[in-house]
Structure 1
Amino acid sequence: MSKIKLIFSVIYNNMWRNPKGRLTTRLKEACESMPPKQRLTVVSLMLAVFVLTAFFVFGHACYRIGLGKAQKSVAIEHIMPIDIVTKSPVHEPQNLPDYDDARVESED
């Protein structure tokens, strides 16, 4: 079992941790080499692109809801009653015990 974990950890490190670490290092170096005003401009531009994309997605969803394309027609299935066979108490006599819960004999 430890051999499988070792193989999994090697694959995980090579596919996720190492590239992520290299990308993070490269991004930090790029940001540190920029002057503060340029960094502010880049961050503001990225934020503006994100906000515009979010508004577009939200607006498009509202537009589709307004057209009625977002709703799918739902077929309503009614629940059918289950056929339950009931025994009539008239046909079967009730077998009552001679004693009640307090172990007292009934007067009948």
Structure 2
Amino acid sequence: MRIVCLHTADSNIALFDAVATHTAAEVEVQLVSGAWDRFRADDTAGYLSMIATAANAAYENGADVVAFAQTSMAGAALLVTGGAKPLTTPAIALAAAVHAATLAA
């Protein structure tokens, strides 16, 4: 399985690299260059478009899964057309909460 993790800040690289050592999957961390500048300039549409374009490209280049490193990227999942819906921090947190609630019931 090939997983591509998209991010906009170099501080996320170490986190993904650490997690990748605990899986047999091929994990590739990719910077979406310029996207964070758009976010900081309040260009939300441009920011999300850049993230979605990067996700589509990752799928076109053989990614089985795309994961977004930041909550601010979640809206871009609605714009992705090239593969499965990317994993987003809010979606992962909600799935974990539902799973935990199911176990507690």
TM-score, with structure 2 as normaliser = 0.27
Flag the structure with larger Rg: 1
Which has the larger strand fraction? 2
Greater share of residues in helix = 1
Structure with the larger RCO, 1 or 2 (CA within 8 Å, 6+ apart): 2
